[in-house]
Chains A and B, each alone.
Chain A
């Protein structure tokens, strides 16, 4: 379990990073939590590793108006503990589910998103919130919305010569509530199924809006608009249900969504049918929780 030979650079500026990335078969390394095992198992053998950890500007975690920008080398653990990132509650709800604390101390938010494991939490968060990915190469910088970013398992819009320099997460609005949940066989494992949920409270004359992004169940995070399902559930139980009542009312709809969304193959840990069962429960529970957080922020606090 030793890596095949590769060249290594550790540039100090973004300009130097993208110049290195323009070379043949180069690969970015930040936290290395996914890449290093891939190298050790010789499943990947890039000619050049471009270590971005010495670029000061990539280590920025900043609030910029209505977005929180997370730079390429910002660790998951730092984000998890940052007051500034608390403006994006869904991010902070999801991060404790990413691996273990030791992994999060090295792993980066951008790295997880660029790696695009279908079972990973952060791609789903980015997709649910409609985050914006900022990509830089020697040709300049472009922005890609999350909806166009994930193109397949471990495949994204990042070109071979591009660096994901930062991800911009929209700050939560006052009328929004969030839910996050996943199921794995052990604590810290990749999810067999998981959901990230955003609900907007009913406005003037409008019903509530709800979207759920499901992960671990397809090649990419799959987002479904479940506003109609939430409204139907609320019609059955009235506008001020208990959490349990709302979960029950949503169960049938959640099952329909889960049936439509799960298209991954089975393995020894979870068949597609079992994943649907798990996903269905998660959708009902987290949509209900998010709705209550959106409509009763004073009593229904987000975890943590």
Chain B
């Protein structure tokens, strides 16, 4: 099932995309500008809004007082005394934190008036570095808590201490992972309207928010209304996200409040400066990993100590970066015992959240660097260490010590394919020759498990078992969909999957058409999320690669139900029992007598026009909804284990780099990437996801970093300093290949495929650079790796 061109492309490529900033869903909307803190950490002594309120064109100005008067703190994922509101209230805790909102007739006037908001700040010492934030002497961000550690949990699965005591060798390393983002084309946009209704406030918000919709009750909680009083509408085109736009939700609450005060709907369009300093990013992480090994380099046990720097607040869904990969924390390896410490610290940086690969790139940077360091200590080829430790093909379904159930895979075959596709043995020879010529050539490998279809129950792990209320657990990964048929027999799929550009409509159309035996033109996919009318639940949204495994499973179920209704109608027309009928070639026909058939559209038409002809016990169903609820997605166990995703795919990257001796630029000479995402639904879209994930990884590995000065000022606040790779930097030879080991748990065997190399390639590149500089005594323990960083590393080594 491959090959349809994306139905989304024509509009997007001809400038006909309809992004929220192009739309005017609520006539009479005013425009907001946000006043933001210039200080990383400061007490707010006083806020004077009067001058701004008197400025031309201004309808309302709100600040901490108005926020505290109406809003409640956002409910957090963990009980911790860190109240989080959409603006600063007592103190500002990061540069760019909202302090006030000015609503005016246009953005120019709003920005003019914003300059008249007077805030009396008392600057406080700031802390930005993770290690510094852990110190008891560090400036305290949240009074009422006894330190900056927002969550700290320790887990032991299997006989970890015994394995370390009996180990032939222990390899232990400290690594850090940088903070970077996804930089979508369109930044955050919210259009919000607050009205008083018969049952209290009714809030309508249009936002380019793509879930997780567990944030809908979080916003409703802050607004003090039931979730059904908050109507969220998402446009079909959201301008990209890659996770980052999940962080728009605090602004939904803030703009709703601004609308309440302005008495009119309010639009806020985030500009790039706001986006780069104050929206969201992946979390940076400090980590220590330790492996207990036998004489052959087989890992007997693993200890991981992870400290995420989540910025100023534990903004939901954080601390999920720590837990998203909990069930696959041992990666692609058969490791029977693992000890985990998972902490998140708050610092005077902007809050973190989803970023393509969510938690994977951080985890695998540690794990896959460690594998290479193990190889170096044992004098083994890094491919060989991986071969010895990979989960064997005979072991599936494979239970990890932390609760993951790997549904299917053939890791050896995928790794060998990635190695063969780049001619690994020949490359090693080439490398020996290059080294003899003084060339810095390196080969890096990463082999990772790619989790998809998150079980949101992992969030529960941040709360200790004793504090988790029985029967109030969190679990699941349900996906809903609605399919309908019109009087002409045209089938419509209503997708509430809030795609970010993945091509959901293309795949849904393709699948339903094939399933119902219809030409694709007879199936339409409508991308529309309106929480007042689209079927949805907490786990809805486009995140953690949910569409391919989950939505398609629900979709075929809904299509089956619709097919059943149409078949009954056909049986009336053909006077044949429904059991003897099948759908094919746009008709409903008798299985063993294809001549006896009726057009699908006529059968469907009967459901609309002549339901009286149906058998008495049959309803004329023209809408069918289905939900797919995988039973394998359970809440965390009393032993703290969790199957944190439904599906587990696999990625092997082998990357060849050469480092220019003059400029120290890392040049990628070849990348061989093999993905196993189960059944491939659309080869072209899969390849697009591979390319996208690779480019994003390239950014994190070589270019992008959200840097801060030690005093807490962001130092990459514009595109002059926050460098995303462009097409010029992203062009290198790529051999992309695929394996298909279908998941037994999803209807089509499909797994997610949107994140793969964004998890694996950053560390593969780091491994390649480490390999290239092996003889220079340089240790690669972080990213990004660009000339300035390598110069510093090389001169430091020389100096010692």
Contacts and interface: CB of A to CB of B under 8 A. Distances in A.
Interface stretch (A125-133, A217-225, A266-274, A289-297): A266-274
Interface in A1-49: 1-5, 41-42
A187 interface: yes
Nearest to B709: A268
Interface in B679-718: 703, 705, 707, 715-716
A190 B720 contact: yes
Contact of B788 (A41, A186, A190, A274): A274
Contacts of B705: 268
B721 interface: yes
A189 B788 contact: no
Interface stretch (B248-256, B514-522, B724-732): B724-732
Interface string A173-195: 00000000001011111100000
B561 interface: no
Interface centre among B273, B716, B729, B788 (most CB of A within 10 A): B788
A273 to B, nearest CB: 7
A277 B788 CA distance: 10
B663 A1 contact: no
B468 interface: no
Interface residues of A, number: 24
B726 A273 contact: no
Interface stretch (B105-113, B454-462, B469-477): B105-113
A278 interface: yes
B273 A1 contact: yes
Interface in B238-277: 271-273
Interface string A184-212: 01111110000000000000000000000
A188 B720 CA distance: 11
A274 B791 contact: yes
A273 B703 CA distance: 20
B317 to A, nearest CB: 29
A123 interface: no
Interface in B772-800: 786-788, 791-792, 795
A2 B107 contact: yes
Nearest to B791: A274
Contact of A187 (B707, B716, B726, B795): B726
A189 B272 contact: no
A187 B273 contact: no
A71 interface: no
Given A189-B723, A268-B715, A273 B787 contact: no
A107 to B, nearest CB: 16
Contacts of B703: 185-186
A283 to B, nearest CB: 11
Nearest to A41: B273
Contacts of A5: 108, 112
Contact of B707 (A268, A271, A278): A268
A268 B715 CA distance: 8
Interface in A131-188: 183, 185-188
B6 to A, nearest CB: 26
Contacts of A270: 787-788
B639 to A, nearest CB: 44
A281 B720 contact: no
A1 B792 contact: no
Contact of B786 (A3, A41, A185, A190): A185
Interface in B465-502: none
A183 B726 CA distance: 16
Nearest to B725: A186
Nearest to B716: A268
Contacts of B787: 183, 185, 270, 274, 278
B712 to A, nearest CB: 15
B196 interface: no
Contacts of A189: 720, 723
B662 interface: yes
A269 B786 CA distance: 8
B128 to A, nearest CB: 14
Interface in B657-685: 662-664
A5 to B, nearest CB: 7
Given A41-B273, A270-B787, A274-B792, A2 B728 contact: no
A267 B715 contact: yes
A36 to B, nearest CB: 14
Nearest to A271: B788
A267 B663 CA distance: 16
Nearest to A251: B662
A42 B707 CA distance: 23
Contacts of A42: 111
Nearest to B662: A281
A278 B728 CA distance: 21
Contact of B108 (A2, A185, A271): A2
Given A1-B273, A278-B663, A281-B662, A186 B728 contact: yes
B90 to A, nearest CB: 28
Contacts of B788: 268-271, 274
A187 B111 contact: no
A293 B273 CA distance: 45
A269 B271 CA distance: 24
B254 to A, nearest CB: 19
Contacts of A186: 703, 723, 725-726, 728-729
Given A271-B792, A274-B788, A278-B663, A188 B728 contact: yes
Nearest to B108: A2
Contact of A273 (B271, B662, B725, B791): B791
Contacts of A187: 726, 728-729
A18 B348 CA distance: 49
Nearest to A189: B723
A269 B721 contact: yes
Contacts of A281: 662-663
B30 to A, nearest CB: 15
A273 B726 CA distance: 27
Nearest to B795: A273
28 contacts: A1-B272, A2-B111, A3-B108, A4-B112, A5-B108, A42-B111, A183-B663, A185-B703, A185-B786, A187-B726, A189-B723, A190-B720, A267-B715, A267-B721, A268-B707, A268-B716, A268-B721, A270-B788, A271-B791, A274-B664, A274-B788, A274-B791, A274-B792, A277-B663, A277-B791, A278-B662, A281-B662, A281-B663
What 5 A-B pairs have minimum CB-CB distances, sorted nearest first? Answer: A1-B271, A187-B728, A281-B662, A274-B791, A2-B108
Given A42-B111, A185-B786, A268-B716, 16 more contacts: A2-B111, A4-B111, A186-B723, A186-B725, A187-B726, A187-B728, A187-B729, A189-B720, A267-B715, A271-B792, A274-B791, A274-B792, A277-B662, A277-B664, A278-B662, A278-B787
